[in-house]
Structures are given as C-alpha cells and as structure tokens.
C-alpha cells in the first residue's frame, strides 16, 4: 500500500517534470510542424542565463527566472526570423539547422562556463509532510507550474485572437494566409512561446538537478518520446503520454536497476508505436 502510494505520487511528480520539459517542443511541432531538435539546447541556455543573474549577479531568484524566460523568448523570435523560417516543411533542413544551433550553444557554454558543476538555488526549499509521506516542495512546485502552463496554452490557443490564428495556421497554412493572417508573425509568436516554455523548464530543472552543457540531450529524447507517443497535434495526448512515461520511470526502477529500466521503458514505447505509429491521440503527420 505504501509502495503503491509512493509509486503514484512519484509518477505524478516525474510526469509533471517531463510534461513541462516537452510542452514547448510539442507546441512548436503542433502549430508550425517544426521539429525543434535544438529545444534541449535552448532549455540548457535558459538554465545558465538564470544562473548568471541569480548567482553571479546576485539578483532575486524569481526575478532572474522571469528575466531568463524573457530573454529566451526574444531569442526565440531571433531563431524564427533567421533560422527556422527557412526550414519549415522540410525535415532534412530542420535537422541541419537545429543540429548547427545545438553545436553552437552547447559548445559555447562548454568552452566558457561548462567546466564546473553548477546548480541553481532551489525555488521552494523545504519539504511538505502529507500523512506519512514527505515531498520536496520544489517538486510539487513543478506540478503546479505544469498545471499553470497547460492552462495558459489551452486558454491562449482557444480564446485569444493570436491563438485562434495559430489554430488556423496549423490546419492549413496557405488557406490561413489567404484569409489575411500574417503567417510569419504567428510562427514568430509560436516560436517565442515555445522557447519561453523551454526557458521555464530549464530554470526549474536547473534547480532540481545540476546544470551541465549537455543536459539538453536527455531531455530532448524524453520530449520526443512524449510527443510521438501522445500524438502530434494534441495537448491531451501529451498529458497522457507524460503520465504513462512517468509511470514507467517511477515503477520500473522499483523492480530493476537503472539501465535495465531504461531498456524496458524504451521497449514498451517502441512496441506501442509499432501498433499505433501516430500515437494515442495523434493525426497523421506529413
């Protein structure tokens, strides 16, 4: 019973982490059909910017968090204008440009500040006691932020003018452009939002774990798993896949060692995808 409760709670916390990390990636993929392999590198960059403000300049942690997210969003505008715009709709070109961005960002960080182990201070230190269990507060904070981000995305795409335009663009780019929607502006906003979400995730994970120049690589794989398993074009799918992968990662280590757990998790994902390539709630892509 205790084991089961612990497994459920762990599942929720791990899932929240994965979902926060994958949301920006999924958002850009759904709206623009752009597979941003450099999402992990952007996420890493945000963590380091936050570290620079909070630890090196000694600013307030939440202030530096906001600054980092704003800077990363602006970087998203830049990326869309000068890089991603020339690659939409072509998987080969997406791979080339995003790998170039990964190389530049990761190695710049690695050459300059990557030699030492760094970590952000905790956003919410302390533990919460609930019945006989105790949880780290910052993990619960991740759960809350996950909920807030999901609410923001659903509210934005469903209710606001730009959100509705985004839906139109994702359904049919040419038709949307013919209706007078500025497609470039929409994709720039989408890219900035996606990078902002990567920034939120990067700061949170930088506090939960250590910062490292190559921390984005593992995250990227998790984000890909989540998005492909959930299905492209659905927010509900990401929630479901996040819970499933979180459950695998929370439960399998109870019975086996780390690497074996990874293999089992990947095997489950591959088998599911062989029977349902478009994911749980997805539409066909390309």
Partner 1 sequence: MKLAQLSLYGGIIILLALLPLLVRSPYVVYVFTTTFIYIVATVSLRTVTISGQYPLAHGAFMGIGAYTSAVIAKQLGWPVWLTIPLGGIAAMLIGALIAYPFARLRAFYYAMVSLFFGIGVIQVIYVLTKWTSGAGGLVDIPHLLPVVSRVPYYYFFLGFMVICLLALWRFEYSRIGLSLKAIAQSHIVASSVGINEVRYRVLALSVGCFFVGLAGAAYAHYNFTLSPTSFDFLASMWLFIYALIGGLGSFGGPIVGAALLIIVPELLSGLKQFIPFISAAILLIIFYVLHDGLISLPRVIETWYKRRKPGTADITEGS
Binding-site ranges for partner 1 (CB under 8 A) = 37, 86-87, 91-93, 95-97, 99-100, 103-104, 106-107, 110-111, 217, 221, 224-225, 228, 259-260, 262-263, 266-267, 269-270, 273-274, 277-278, 285-286
Task: Report, in Å, the least distance between residue 243 CB and partner 1.
Answer: 19
Task: Report, in Å, the least distance between residue 222 CB and partner 1.
Answer: 11
SS3 231: coil
120 or 248: whose CB is closer to partner 1? 248
Task: Report, in Å, the least distance between residue 94 CB and partner 1.
Answer: 10
- Could you tell me the two tokens for 279? 């994911």
Task: Report, in Å, the least distance between residue 86 CB and partner 1.
Answer: 7
| Residue 145, H or E segment | helix 137-159
Q: Cβ distance 45 to 107 under 8 Å? A: no
175 or 270: whose CB is closer to partner 1? 270
81 or 93: whose CB is closer to partner 1? 93
Q: Cβ distance 141 to 123 under 8 Å? A: yes
138 or 217: whose CB is closer to partner 1? 217
Task: Report, in Å, the least distance between residue 64 CB and partner 1.
Answer: 28
- Could you tell me the two tokens for 249? 């990662």
Beta strands in the chain (DSSP E): 127-130, 133-136
110 or 134: whose CB is closer to partner 1? 110
Provide Rg for the chain, Cα atoms: 19
CA-CA-CA-CA torsion sign (206, 208, 214, 216): negative
């Amino acid at each position: 019973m205790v084991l089961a409760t612990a497994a459920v709670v762990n599942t929720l916390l791990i899932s929240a982490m994965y979902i926060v990390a994958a949301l920006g990636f999924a958002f850009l993929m759904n709206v623009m059909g752009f597979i941003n392999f450099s999402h992990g590198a952007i996420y890493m960059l945000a963590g380091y910017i936050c570290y620079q403000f909070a630890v090196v300049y000694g600013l307030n942690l939440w202030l530096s968090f906001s600054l980092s997210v704003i800077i990363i969003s602006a970087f998203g505008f830049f990326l869309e204008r000068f890089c991603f715009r020339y690659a939409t709709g072509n998987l080969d070109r997406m791979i080339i440009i995003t790998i170039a961005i990964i190389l530049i960002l990761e190695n710049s960080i690695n050459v300059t500040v990557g030699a030492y182990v760094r970590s952000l201070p905790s956003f919410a230190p302390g533990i919460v006691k609930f019945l006989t269990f105790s949880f780290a507060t910052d993990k619960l904070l991740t759960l809350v932020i996950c909920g807030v981000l999901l609410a923001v995305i659903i509210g934005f795409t469903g209710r606001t003018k730009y959100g509705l335009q985004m839906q139109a663009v994702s359904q049919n780019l040419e038709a949307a452009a013919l209706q007078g929607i500025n497609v470039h502006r929409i994709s720039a906003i989408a890219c900035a939002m996606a990078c902002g979400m990567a920034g939120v995730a990067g700061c949170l994970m930088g506090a939960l774990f250590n910062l490292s120049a190559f921390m984005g690589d593992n995250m990227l794989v998790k984000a890909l798993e989540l998005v492909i398993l959930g299905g492209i074009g659905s927010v509900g799918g990401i929630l479901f896949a996040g819970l499933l992968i979180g459950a695998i990662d929370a439960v399998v280590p109870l019975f086996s060692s780390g690497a074996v757990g990874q293999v089992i998790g990947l095997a489950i994902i591959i088998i599911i995808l062989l029977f349902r390539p478009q994911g749980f709630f997805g539409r066909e892509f390309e």
